Amino acid sequence: MEHPDIIIPVVPASGGCSASACGASARQMGGLPEAVRRKVEEHPCYSEQAHHYFARMHAAVAPACNIQCNYCNRKYDCANESRPGVVSEVLTPEQAVQRTLAVGAAIPQMSVLGIAGPGDPLANRERTFATFRLLAEKAPDIKLCVSTNGLALPECVDELSQHAIEHVTITINCVDPDIGAKIYPWIFWQHRRVRGRAAAEILIAQQQKGLEMLVARGILVKVNSVLIPGVNDGHLEEVSRIVKAKGAFLHNVMPLIAAPEHGTFYGLTGQRGPTAAELKAVQDACAGDMTMMRHCRQCRADAVGLLGEDRGAEFTLEKVAAMEIDHEAALARRLAFREQVRAELEAKRTQAATQVIALHRPPRKPLGRPVLMAVATKGNGIINEHFGYAREFLVYEASEAGVRLIGHRKTEKYCGGSETCGDGESRIDRIVRTLEGCEAVLCARIGIEPWSRLEAAGIRPDTEHAMEAIEAAVAAVWRAMLEKGELADAATERQRA
Protein backbone atom coordinates (compact mmCIF):
# COMPACT_ATOMS: atom_id res chain seq x y z
CA MET A 1 0.00 0.00 0.00
CA GLU A 2 1.07 3.51 -0.64
CA HIS A 3 0.85 5.32 2.62
CA PRO A 4 3.70 4.70 5.00
CA ASP A 5 2.50 2.81 7.99
CA ILE A 6 5.51 1.98 10.02
CA ILE A 7 6.92 4.52 12.35
CA ILE A 8 10.28 3.75 13.76
CA PRO A 9 11.61 5.42 16.84
CA VAL A 10 14.57 7.67 16.64
CA VAL A 11 16.37 6.32 19.61
CA PRO A 12 19.23 7.94 21.42
CA ALA A 13 22.43 5.99 21.69
CA SER A 14 22.38 7.16 25.25
CA GLY A 15 20.49 9.62 27.35
CA GLY A 16 17.27 10.02 25.36
CA CYS A 17 15.43 11.66 28.15
CA SER A 18 17.10 13.97 30.57
CA ALA A 19 16.82 13.49 34.26
CA SER A 20 13.90 15.82 34.84
CA ALA A 21 11.49 13.92 32.61
CA CYS A 22 12.62 10.65 34.03
CA GLY A 23 12.15 12.09 37.47
CA ALA A 24 8.48 12.41 36.63
CA SER A 25 8.44 8.81 35.56
CA ALA A 26 10.20 7.72 38.66
CA ARG A 27 7.45 9.41 40.64
CA GLN A 28 4.83 7.74 38.50
CA MET A 29 6.31 4.33 38.91
CA GLY A 30 7.79 4.64 42.35
CA GLY A 31 4.77 3.26 44.16
CA LEU A 32 4.32 0.21 41.96
CA PRO A 33 5.24 -3.33 42.86
CA GLU A 34 8.54 -4.44 41.39
CA ALA A 35 6.97 -6.99 39.03
CA VAL A 36 4.60 -4.40 37.56
CA ARG A 37 7.34 -1.82 37.28
CA ARG A 38 9.45 -4.23 35.28
CA LYS A 39 6.59 -5.03 32.94
CA VAL A 40 5.91 -1.39 32.39
CA GLU A 41 9.51 -0.45 31.95
CA GLU A 42 9.70 -1.94 28.48
CA HIS A 43 6.29 -1.00 27.24
CA PRO A 44 6.30 2.02 24.99
CA CYS A 45 2.62 2.68 25.51
CA TYR A 46 2.82 2.69 29.26
CA SER A 47 6.09 3.98 30.43
CA GLU A 48 7.35 7.44 29.75
CA GLN A 49 10.87 6.07 29.87
CA ALA A 50 10.22 3.12 27.60
CA HIS A 51 8.51 5.45 25.21
CA HIS A 52 11.90 6.95 24.43
CA TYR A 53 13.68 3.65 23.93
CA PHE A 54 11.41 1.02 22.49
CA ALA A 55 9.43 0.52 19.35
CA ARG A 56 6.12 -1.11 18.97
CA MET A 57 4.19 -2.21 16.03
CA HIS A 58 0.57 -2.83 15.37
CA ALA A 59 -0.66 -5.43 12.96
CA ALA A 60 -4.04 -5.02 11.34
CA VAL A 61 -5.25 -8.60 11.45
CA ALA A 62 -8.66 -7.96 12.98
CA PRO A 63 -11.17 -6.42 10.59
CA ALA A 64 -14.46 -7.49 12.20
CA CYS A 65 -16.16 -5.68 15.04
CA ASN A 66 -18.94 -6.65 17.40
CA ILE A 67 -20.13 -3.18 18.40
CA GLN A 68 -20.72 0.18 16.77
CA CYS A 69 -19.33 3.38 18.24
CA ASN A 70 -20.61 6.76 17.18
CA TYR A 71 -17.07 7.96 16.55
CA CYS A 72 -16.28 5.14 14.19
CA ASN A 73 -17.04 4.59 10.55
CA ARG A 74 -16.45 1.00 9.58
CA LYS A 75 -15.62 2.06 6.06
CA TYR A 76 -12.39 3.25 7.59
CA ASP A 77 -10.45 2.16 10.63
CA CYS A 78 -11.56 2.04 14.17
CA ALA A 79 -11.28 5.53 15.63
CA ASN A 80 -10.49 4.16 19.06
CA GLU A 81 -6.95 3.36 18.26
CA SER A 82 -6.37 4.83 14.88
CA ARG A 83 -6.88 7.91 12.84
CA PRO A 84 -10.11 8.14 11.00
CA GLY A 85 -9.76 8.36 7.27
CA VAL A 86 -6.85 5.99 7.06
CA VAL A 87 -7.69 2.54 5.86
CA SER A 88 -5.50 -0.24 7.11
CA GLU A 89 -4.39 -3.00 4.92
CA VAL A 90 -5.74 -6.10 6.58
CA LEU A 91 -3.08 -8.77 6.94
CA THR A 92 -3.38 -12.48 7.43
CA PRO A 93 -1.76 -13.76 10.65
CA GLU A 94 1.09 -15.19 8.55
CA GLN A 95 1.70 -11.87 6.80
CA ALA A 96 1.54 -9.97 10.06
CA VAL A 97 4.09 -12.23 11.71
CA GLN A 98 6.41 -12.10 8.73
CA ARG A 99 6.35 -8.34 8.82
CA THR A 100 6.84 -8.17 12.58
CA LEU A 101 9.85 -10.45 12.34
CA ALA A 102 11.30 -8.32 9.56
CA VAL A 103 10.92 -5.17 11.64
CA GLY A 104 12.30 -6.99 14.68
CA ALA A 105 15.36 -8.05 12.69
CA ALA A 106 16.03 -4.56 11.35
CA ILE A 107 15.30 -2.68 14.55
CA PRO A 108 16.52 -4.01 17.88
CA GLN A 109 14.22 -1.59 19.72
CA MET A 110 11.22 -3.56 18.50
CA SER A 111 9.61 -4.94 21.62
CA VAL A 112 5.82 -4.94 21.41
CA LEU A 113 3.34 -6.23 18.88
CA GLY A 114 -0.17 -4.99 19.36
CA ILE A 115 -3.41 -6.01 17.77
CA ALA A 116 -5.89 -3.18 17.86
CA GLY A 117 -7.97 -3.22 14.78
CA PRO A 118 -9.27 -2.08 12.41
CA GLY A 119 -12.09 -3.93 14.19
CA ASP A 120 -11.94 -5.58 17.59
CA PRO A 121 -9.18 -8.16 18.15
CA LEU A 122 -11.43 -10.32 20.28
CA ALA A 123 -14.20 -10.27 17.71
CA ASN A 124 -11.53 -11.86 15.47
CA ARG A 125 -10.19 -14.16 18.06
CA GLU A 126 -8.93 -16.89 15.69
CA ARG A 127 -6.88 -14.43 13.67
CA THR A 128 -5.58 -12.57 16.71
CA PHE A 129 -4.50 -15.66 18.61
CA ALA A 130 -3.07 -17.30 15.51
CA THR A 131 -0.86 -14.23 15.10
CA PHE A 132 0.35 -14.45 18.67
CA ARG A 133 0.99 -18.18 18.41
CA LEU A 134 3.02 -17.86 15.23
CA LEU A 135 5.06 -14.96 16.55
CA ALA A 136 5.90 -16.71 19.81
CA GLU A 137 7.56 -19.52 17.82
CA LYS A 138 10.16 -17.24 16.26
CA ALA A 139 10.35 -14.26 18.59
CA PRO A 140 9.33 -15.25 22.11
CA ASP A 141 10.82 -12.03 23.48
CA ILE A 142 8.37 -9.74 21.72
CA LYS A 143 5.60 -8.75 24.06
CA LEU A 144 2.04 -8.95 22.94
CA CYS A 145 -0.79 -6.62 23.61
CA VAL A 146 -4.41 -6.32 22.68
CA SER A 147 -6.77 -3.36 22.62
CA THR A 148 -10.41 -4.20 22.88
CA ASN A 149 -13.85 -2.73 23.39
CA GLY A 150 -14.29 -5.38 26.07
CA LEU A 151 -17.49 -7.02 24.87
CA ALA A 152 -15.88 -10.42 24.27
CA LEU A 153 -13.23 -10.00 26.92
CA PRO A 154 -14.52 -12.23 29.74
CA GLU A 155 -14.68 -15.30 27.50
CA CYS A 156 -11.18 -14.59 26.14
CA VAL A 157 -9.33 -14.02 29.39
CA ASP A 158 -8.27 -17.65 29.76
CA GLU A 159 -6.86 -17.79 26.28
CA LEU A 160 -5.17 -14.42 26.74
CA SER A 161 -3.37 -15.68 29.81
CA GLN A 162 -2.29 -18.80 27.93
CA HIS A 163 -0.61 -16.63 25.35
CA ALA A 164 1.26 -14.89 28.13
CA ILE A 165 -0.12 -11.54 27.12
CA GLU A 166 0.87 -9.03 29.70
CA HIS A 167 -0.91 -5.97 28.43
CA VAL A 168 -4.53 -5.38 27.55
CA THR A 169 -6.12 -2.05 26.78
CA ILE A 170 -9.86 -1.72 27.24
CA THR A 171 -11.66 1.28 25.81
CA ILE A 172 -14.16 2.27 28.48
CA ASN A 173 -16.03 5.46 27.72
CA CYS A 174 -18.63 5.19 30.46
CA VAL A 175 -19.96 3.15 33.35
CA ASP A 176 -23.49 4.54 33.03
CA PRO A 177 -25.74 2.88 30.43
CA ASP A 178 -27.66 6.10 29.79
CA ILE A 179 -24.43 7.71 28.69
CA GLY A 180 -23.45 4.55 26.86
CA ALA A 181 -26.64 4.71 24.81
CA LYS A 182 -25.39 8.01 23.41
CA ILE A 183 -22.07 6.47 22.39
CA TYR A 184 -22.95 2.97 21.18
CA PRO A 185 -25.97 2.53 18.90
CA TRP A 186 -25.76 -1.28 18.94
CA ILE A 187 -23.78 -4.34 19.89
CA PHE A 188 -23.86 -7.92 18.57
CA TRP A 189 -24.55 -10.12 21.55
CA GLN A 190 -25.55 -13.76 21.77
CA HIS A 191 -26.62 -13.99 18.15
CA ARG A 192 -28.69 -10.83 18.15
CA ARG A 193 -28.20 -7.18 17.46
CA VAL A 194 -28.99 -5.41 20.74
CA ARG A 195 -29.64 -1.67 20.71
CA GLY A 196 -29.81 1.37 22.92
CA ARG A 197 -29.57 1.32 26.69
CA ALA A 198 -29.79 -2.48 26.88
CA ALA A 199 -26.75 -2.73 24.61
CA ALA A 200 -24.76 -0.27 26.68
CA GLU A 201 -25.68 -2.12 29.85
CA ILE A 202 -24.31 -5.41 28.51
CA LEU A 203 -21.17 -3.78 27.13
CA ILE A 204 -20.41 -2.00 30.40
CA ALA A 205 -20.96 -5.16 32.44
CA GLN A 206 -18.65 -7.14 30.13
CA GLN A 207 -15.95 -4.47 30.25
CA GLN A 208 -15.98 -4.32 34.03
CA LYS A 209 -16.03 -8.09 34.36
CA GLY A 210 -13.18 -8.43 31.88
CA LEU A 211 -11.17 -5.82 33.75
CA GLU A 212 -11.63 -7.65 37.04
CA MET A 213 -10.72 -11.02 35.51
CA LEU A 214 -7.55 -9.68 33.93
CA VAL A 215 -6.42 -8.01 37.12
CA ALA A 216 -7.09 -11.23 39.03
CA ARG A 217 -4.77 -13.05 36.62
CA GLY A 218 -2.03 -10.49 36.97
CA ILE A 219 -2.35 -9.10 33.44
CA LEU A 220 -1.68 -5.37 33.20
CA VAL A 221 -4.73 -3.39 32.16
CA LYS A 222 -4.78 0.06 30.70
CA VAL A 223 -8.08 1.82 30.22
CA ASN A 224 -8.55 4.26 27.36
CA SER A 225 -11.43 6.70 27.33
CA VAL A 226 -12.49 8.91 24.48
CA LEU A 227 -13.46 12.34 25.77
CA ILE A 228 -16.70 13.38 24.09
CA PRO A 229 -17.71 16.90 25.15
CA GLY A 230 -21.30 17.07 26.34
CA VAL A 231 -21.57 13.27 26.47
CA ASN A 232 -19.06 11.85 28.92
CA ASP A 233 -16.85 14.80 29.91
CA GLY A 234 -18.43 15.11 33.34
CA HIS A 235 -18.42 11.35 33.77
CA LEU A 236 -14.83 10.31 33.07
CA GLU A 237 -13.68 11.20 36.53
CA GLU A 238 -16.02 8.54 37.89
CA VAL A 239 -14.84 6.09 35.23
CA SER A 240 -11.30 6.80 36.31
CA ARG A 241 -12.06 6.26 39.97
CA ILE A 242 -13.82 2.96 39.33
CA VAL A 243 -11.31 1.43 36.93
CA LYS A 244 -8.40 2.37 39.15
CA ALA A 245 -10.15 0.94 42.18
CA LYS A 246 -10.53 -2.31 40.25
CA GLY A 247 -6.84 -2.36 39.50
CA ALA A 248 -6.41 -0.77 36.08
CA PHE A 249 -2.87 0.39 36.01
CA LEU A 250 -3.39 3.39 33.78
CA HIS A 251 -6.27 5.53 32.68
CA ASN A 252 -5.62 7.36 29.48
CA VAL A 253 -8.06 10.04 28.29
CA MET A 254 -7.94 10.69 24.56
CA PRO A 255 -9.74 13.38 22.61
CA LEU A 256 -12.64 12.59 20.30
CA ILE A 257 -11.62 13.29 16.73
CA ALA A 258 -14.70 14.10 14.70
CA ALA A 259 -15.19 15.83 11.37
CA PRO A 260 -17.93 15.47 8.77
CA GLU A 261 -15.55 13.98 6.22
CA HIS A 262 -14.98 10.97 8.46
CA GLY A 263 -18.58 9.96 7.86
CA THR A 264 -19.10 9.03 11.50
CA PHE A 265 -22.30 9.73 13.44
CA TYR A 266 -20.51 12.29 15.58
CA GLY A 267 -18.73 13.82 12.62
CA LEU A 268 -21.90 14.19 10.59
CA THR A 269 -24.07 15.45 13.42
CA GLY A 270 -21.63 18.17 14.42
CA GLN A 271 -20.43 16.64 17.68
CA ARG A 272 -17.15 18.41 18.33
CA GLY A 273 -13.98 17.12 19.91
CA PRO A 274 -12.52 18.71 23.03
CA THR A 275 -10.20 21.70 22.89
CA ALA A 276 -6.69 21.14 24.19
CA ALA A 277 -7.66 22.97 27.39
CA GLU A 278 -10.77 20.85 27.93
CA LEU A 279 -8.76 17.71 27.40
CA LYS A 280 -6.15 18.78 29.89
CA ALA A 281 -8.81 19.70 32.44
CA VAL A 282 -10.33 16.22 32.28
CA GLN A 283 -6.92 14.58 32.30
CA ASP A 284 -6.05 16.62 35.38
CA ALA A 285 -9.32 15.69 37.06
CA CYS A 286 -8.68 12.03 36.31
CA ALA A 287 -5.05 12.13 37.34
CA GLY A 288 -5.55 12.21 41.09
CA ASP A 289 -2.37 10.23 41.48
CA MET A 290 0.71 9.87 39.36
CA THR A 291 -0.32 6.87 37.37
CA MET A 292 -1.80 8.66 34.42
CA MET A 293 0.25 8.80 31.28
CA ARG A 294 -0.08 11.68 28.95
CA HIS A 295 1.96 10.57 26.02
CA CYS A 296 -0.62 8.52 24.20
CA ARG A 297 -0.73 9.70 20.62
CA GLN A 298 -3.76 7.90 19.31
CA CYS A 299 -1.42 6.02 17.09
CA ARG A 300 -2.84 4.23 14.15
CA ALA A 301 -3.88 0.62 14.32
CA ASP A 302 -1.09 -0.38 12.00
CA ALA A 303 1.63 1.97 13.18
CA VAL A 304 4.93 1.16 14.85
CA GLY A 305 7.07 3.13 17.14
CA LEU A 306 7.31 6.25 19.18
CA LEU A 307 8.95 9.47 18.16
CA GLY A 308 8.13 9.25 14.55
CA GLU A 309 10.40 8.62 11.68
CA ASP A 310 8.51 6.90 8.97
CA ARG A 311 10.11 3.85 7.41
CA GLY A 312 7.00 2.03 6.31
CA ALA A 313 8.20 1.80 2.74
CA GLU A 314 10.99 -0.52 3.86
CA PHE A 315 8.53 -3.07 5.17
CA THR A 316 5.97 -3.58 2.45
CA LEU A 317 4.70 -7.12 2.13
CA GLU A 318 6.69 -7.69 -1.06
CA LYS A 319 9.95 -6.49 0.46
CA VAL A 320 9.34 -8.43 3.64
CA ALA A 321 8.68 -11.61 1.67
CA ALA A 322 12.03 -11.24 -0.06
CA MET A 323 14.03 -10.73 3.15
CA GLU A 324 16.34 -13.40 4.48
CA ILE A 325 16.15 -13.26 8.23
CA ASP A 326 18.33 -14.94 10.81
CA HIS A 327 15.79 -15.10 13.61
CA GLU A 328 18.23 -16.18 16.28
CA ALA A 329 20.65 -13.37 15.54
CA ALA A 330 17.78 -10.89 15.52
CA LEU A 331 16.61 -12.16 18.88
CA ALA A 332 20.10 -11.84 20.31
CA ARG A 333 20.39 -8.25 19.09
CA ARG A 334 17.09 -7.32 20.69
CA LEU A 335 18.06 -8.90 23.99
CA ALA A 336 21.41 -7.12 24.01
CA PHE A 337 19.77 -3.81 23.29
CA ARG A 338 17.31 -4.27 26.13
CA GLU A 339 20.06 -5.16 28.53
CA GLN A 340 21.85 -1.92 27.67
CA VAL A 341 18.68 0.11 28.20
CA ARG A 342 17.97 -1.57 31.48
CA ALA A 343 21.38 -0.55 32.76
CA GLU A 344 20.86 3.03 31.58
CA LEU A 345 17.45 3.30 33.18
CA GLU A 346 18.80 1.90 36.40
CA ALA A 347 21.46 4.60 36.45
CA LYS A 348 18.85 7.26 35.79
CA ARG A 349 16.61 6.08 38.57
CA THR A 350 19.39 6.59 41.05
CA GLN A 351 19.98 10.04 39.64
CA ALA A 352 16.27 10.90 39.75
CA ALA A 353 16.02 9.86 43.37
CA THR A 354 18.77 12.31 44.22
CA GLN A 355 16.99 15.05 42.31
CA VAL A 356 13.73 14.64 44.16
CA ILE A 357 15.52 15.44 47.38
CA ALA A 358 16.92 18.58 45.84
CA LEU A 359 13.48 19.69 44.69
CA HIS A 360 12.08 19.52 48.17
CA ARG A 361 14.30 22.31 49.44
CA PRO A 362 12.24 25.39 50.08
CA PRO A 363 12.32 27.66 47.05
CA ARG A 364 14.35 30.80 47.49
CA LYS A 365 12.88 32.63 44.54
CA PRO A 366 9.31 33.88 44.40
CA LEU A 367 6.91 31.26 43.10
CA GLY A 368 6.16 31.26 39.41
CA ARG A 369 3.10 29.77 37.87
CA PRO A 370 3.43 26.66 35.69
CA VAL A 371 3.78 27.29 31.95
CA LEU A 372 3.01 24.99 29.04
CA MET A 373 5.48 24.96 26.18
CA ALA A 374 5.39 23.09 22.90
CA VAL A 375 8.51 21.55 21.45
CA ALA A 376 9.24 20.51 17.87
CA THR A 377 11.51 17.49 17.86
CA LYS A 378 12.48 14.62 15.63
CA GLY A 379 13.62 12.64 18.64
CA ASN A 380 16.76 12.07 20.68
CA GLY A 381 15.40 14.44 23.31
CA ILE A 382 16.69 17.41 21.29
CA ILE A 383 14.94 20.47 19.85
CA ASN A 384 15.79 19.57 16.28
CA GLU A 385 12.67 20.00 14.17
CA HIS A 386 11.64 22.87 11.92
CA PHE A 387 8.33 24.34 13.05
CA GLY A 388 6.76 23.89 9.64
CA TYR A 389 7.74 20.24 9.38
CA ALA A 390 6.59 19.18 12.81
CA ARG A 391 3.82 16.65 12.59
CA GLU A 392 3.31 16.81 16.29
CA PHE A 393 4.49 18.88 19.21
CA LEU A 394 5.49 17.56 22.58
CA VAL A 395 3.93 19.62 25.31
CA TYR A 396 5.89 20.19 28.49
CA GLU A 397 4.83 21.81 31.70
CA ALA A 398 7.54 23.87 33.36
CA SER A 399 7.10 24.88 36.96
CA GLU A 400 8.91 25.25 40.25
CA ALA A 401 8.93 21.46 40.51
CA GLY A 402 10.75 20.94 37.24
CA VAL A 403 9.85 20.05 33.68
CA ARG A 404 7.58 17.22 32.70
CA LEU A 405 6.15 15.91 29.49
CA ILE A 406 2.39 16.10 29.64
CA GLY A 407 1.33 15.16 26.16
CA HIS A 408 1.48 15.30 22.42
CA ARG A 409 -0.46 17.45 20.07
CA LYS A 410 -0.71 16.40 16.49
CA THR A 411 -0.68 18.95 13.72
CA GLU A 412 -1.46 16.64 10.87
CA LYS A 413 -4.79 16.84 9.23
CA TYR A 414 -6.79 13.71 9.46
CA CYS A 415 -8.36 14.07 6.05
CA GLY A 416 -5.35 14.19 3.76
CA GLY A 417 -2.55 16.36 2.56
CA SER A 418 -4.05 19.53 1.15
CA GLU A 419 -3.09 22.88 2.64
CA THR A 420 -6.60 23.77 3.62
CA CYS A 421 -9.19 21.47 5.03
CA GLY A 422 -12.90 21.39 4.28
CA ASP A 423 -13.71 24.23 6.62
CA GLY A 424 -11.22 26.56 4.94
CA GLU A 425 -9.01 26.70 7.98
CA SER A 426 -5.38 27.05 6.99
CA ARG A 427 -2.62 24.84 8.30
CA ILE A 428 -1.18 27.57 10.49
CA ASP A 429 -4.61 28.37 11.96
CA ARG A 430 -4.96 24.75 12.81
CA ILE A 431 -1.54 24.57 14.40
CA VAL A 432 -2.21 27.69 16.44
CA ARG A 433 -5.43 26.14 17.67
CA THR A 434 -3.62 22.89 18.39
CA LEU A 435 -1.17 24.80 20.55
CA GLU A 436 -3.87 26.43 22.61
CA GLY A 437 -2.74 26.94 26.20
CA CYS A 438 0.97 26.89 25.33
CA GLU A 439 2.91 30.09 25.88
CA ALA A 440 6.00 29.27 23.87
CA VAL A 441 7.05 27.02 21.01
CA LEU A 442 10.62 25.79 20.97
CA CYS A 443 11.81 24.67 17.57
CA ALA A 444 14.96 24.44 15.47
CA ARG A 445 13.80 26.96 12.89
CA ILE A 446 10.64 28.77 11.90
CA GLY A 447 9.47 30.92 8.99
CA ILE A 448 8.63 34.60 9.32
CA GLU A 449 4.94 34.16 8.51
CA PRO A 450 4.25 31.50 11.16
CA TRP A 451 6.45 33.47 13.58
CA SER A 452 4.16 36.48 13.43
CA ARG A 453 1.00 34.38 13.45
CA LEU A 454 2.17 32.67 16.64
CA GLU A 455 3.07 35.96 18.27
CA ALA A 456 -0.31 37.37 17.35
CA ALA A 457 -1.87 34.38 19.11
CA GLY A 458 0.18 35.03 22.22
CA ILE A 459 2.53 32.10 21.72
CA ARG A 460 6.20 33.00 21.77
CA PRO A 461 8.31 31.30 19.10
CA ASP A 462 11.79 30.40 20.31
CA THR A 463 14.70 29.18 18.19
CA GLU A 464 17.41 30.20 20.62
CA HIS A 465 17.56 26.70 22.01
CA ALA A 466 17.82 24.88 18.70
CA MET A 467 19.74 21.62 19.02
CA GLU A 468 19.68 21.74 22.81
CA ALA A 469 18.25 19.10 25.12
CA ILE A 470 14.51 19.61 25.54
CA GLU A 471 14.08 19.66 29.29
CA ALA A 472 17.06 21.89 29.93
CA ALA A 473 15.84 24.34 27.29
CA VAL A 474 12.27 24.39 28.59
CA ALA A 475 13.59 24.98 32.09
CA ALA A 476 15.80 27.81 30.82
CA VAL A 477 12.91 29.51 29.04
CA TRP A 478 10.78 29.19 32.15
CA ARG A 479 13.50 30.69 34.35
CA ALA A 480 13.93 33.57 31.90
CA MET A 481 10.19 34.24 32.05
CA LEU A 482 10.36 34.08 35.84
CA GLU A 483 13.22 36.54 35.99
CA LYS A 484 11.39 38.95 33.72
CA GLY A 485 8.52 38.85 36.19
CA GLU A 486 6.14 37.22 33.72
CA LEU A 487 5.22 34.36 35.97
CA ALA A 488 3.94 36.02 39.10
CA ASP A 489 0.87 34.06 40.04
CA ALA A 490 -2.24 35.56 41.57
CA ALA A 491 -1.16 34.74 45.12
CA THR A 492 2.23 36.38 44.77
CA GLU A 493 0.65 39.49 43.23
CA ARG A 494 -1.59 39.85 46.23
CA GLN A 495 1.31 39.52 48.63
CA ARG A 496 3.19 42.25 46.84
CA ALA A 497 0.26 44.63 46.82
Partner 1 sequence: MALRIVDTCVNCCACEPLCPSRAIRAAKPHFLIDASACGECLGDYADPQCASICPIEGAIVNALNEPLNPLGSLTHLPPELWAAMRPASGTP
CA 374 – CA 474 distance, rounded (Å): 9
Q: Which residue type is seen at 418? A: S
Of residues 186 and 414, the one with the C-beta less far from partner 1: 186
Of residues 183 and 438, the one with the C-beta less far from partner 1: 183
**Beta carbon of residue 197, minimum distance to partner 1 (angstroms, whole number):** 13
Q: Please report, as residue ranges, which positions from 80 to 109 form the binding site for partner 1 (by CB under 8 A).
A: 90
| Binding status of residue 192 toward partner 1 by CB under 8 A | yes
| Binding status of residue 263 toward partner 1 by CB under 8 A | yes
Q: Please report, as residue ranges, which positions from 111 to 140 form the binding site for partner 1 (by CB under 8 A).
A: 118-119, 123-124, 126
Contact region with partner 1 (CB under 8 A), list: 263-271, 355-363, 435-443, 458-466: 263-271
Contact region with partner 1 (CB under 8 A), list: 265-273, 328-336, 350-358, 472-480: 265-273
The answer to whether the CB of 128 falls within 8 A of the CB of 356 is: no
Q: Which of 27, 74, 241, 445 binds partner 1 (CB under 8 A)?
A: 74
Q: Element (H or E) spanning 52, and its range?
A: helix 50-53
**Beta carbon of residue 266, minimum distance to partner 1 (angstroms, whole number):** 10
Q: Which of 265, 355, 433, 457 binds partner 1 (CB under 8 A)?
A: 265
Q: Please report, as residue ranges, which positions from 34 to 73 form the binding site for partner 1 (by CB under 8 A).
A: 63-66, 68, 73
Half-sphere exposure of 2 (CA within 13 A, CB side): 2
Q: How crowded is residue 164: how many other Cβ atoms within 10 Å of its Cβ?
A: 12
Of residues 193 and 365, the one with the C-beta less far from partner 1: 193
| Binding status of residue 191 toward partner 1 by CB under 8 A | yes
- DSSP for 376-445 reads ---BTTB---BGGG-SEEEEEEEETTEEEEEEEEE-S-SS-S-SB-TT--BHHHHHHHHTTTEEEEE-SB
Q: Please report, as residue ranges, which positions from 267 to 326 form the binding site for partner 1 (by CB under 8 A).
A: 268-269
Strand spans (E) along 271-375:
308-310, 371-375
Strand spans (E) along 64-151:
67-68, 110-115, 143-148
Q: Which of 3, 133, 193, 319 binds partner 1 (CB under 8 A)?
A: 193
**Beta carbon of residue 123, minimum distance to partner 1 (angstroms, whole number):** 7
CA 71 – CA 226 distance, rounded (Å): 9
Of residues 123 and 432, the one with the C-beta less far from partner 1: 123
CA 87 – CA 76 distance, rounded (Å): 5
Of residues 85 and 229, the one with the C-beta less far from partner 1: 85
Contact region with partner 1 (CB under 8 A), list: 148-156, 201-209, 259-267, 387-395: 259-267
For the chain, how many helices (H) and strands (E)? 17, 16
| Binding status of residue 414 toward partner 1 by CB under 8 A | no
Span between the terminal Cα atoms of the chain, in Å: 65
**Beta carbon of residue 263, minimum distance to partner 1 (angstroms, whole number):** 5
| Binding status of residue 188 toward partner 1 by CB under 8 A | yes
Of residues 63 and 381, the one with the C-beta less far from partner 1: 63
**Beta carbon of residue 61, minimum distance to partner 1 (angstroms, whole number):** 11
**Beta carbon of residue 417, minimum distance to partner 1 (angstroms, whole number):** 16
Is 453 buried (19+), middle (13-18) or exposed (0-12) by CB count in 10 A? Answer: middle
Helix, strand, coil percent values for the chain (each to nearest 5): 40, 20, 40
The answer to whether the CB of 348 falls within 8 A of the CB of 22 is: yes
**Beta carbon of residue 347, minimum distance to partner 1 (angstroms, whole number):** 48
Phi, psi of 117 (to 5 degrees): 160, -165
| Binding status of residue 360 toward partner 1 by CB under 8 A | no
| Binding status of residue 417 toward partner 1 by CB under 8 A | no
Closest CA to 50 of 130, 166, 164, 155: 166
Closest CA to 52 of 16, 82, 27, 76: 16
**Beta carbon of residue 151, minimum distance to partner 1 (angstroms, whole number):** 12
Of residues 118 and 305, the one with the C-beta less far from partner 1: 118
Closest CA to 237 of 286, 204, 279: 286
| Contact map string, positions 195 to 234, toward partner 1, x by CB under 8 A | ----------------------------------------
The answer to whether the CB of 121 falls within 8 A of the CB of 130 is: no
Beta-bridged to residue 67, according to DSSP, are 187
| Binding status of residue 451 toward partner 1 by CB under 8 A | no
The answer to whether the CB of 71 falls within 8 A of the CB of 227 is: no
Of residues 68 and 80, the one with the C-beta less far from partner 1: 68
Q: Which of 260, 366, 370, 388 binds partner 1 (CB under 8 A)?
A: 260
Of residues 118 and 379, the one with the C-beta less far from partner 1: 118
- The site that binds partner 1 (CB under 8 A) totals a number of residues, namely 25
Residues making contact with partner 1 (CB under 8 A): 63-66, 68, 73-75, 90, 118-119, 123-124, 126, 185-186, 188, 191-193, 260, 263, 265, 268-269
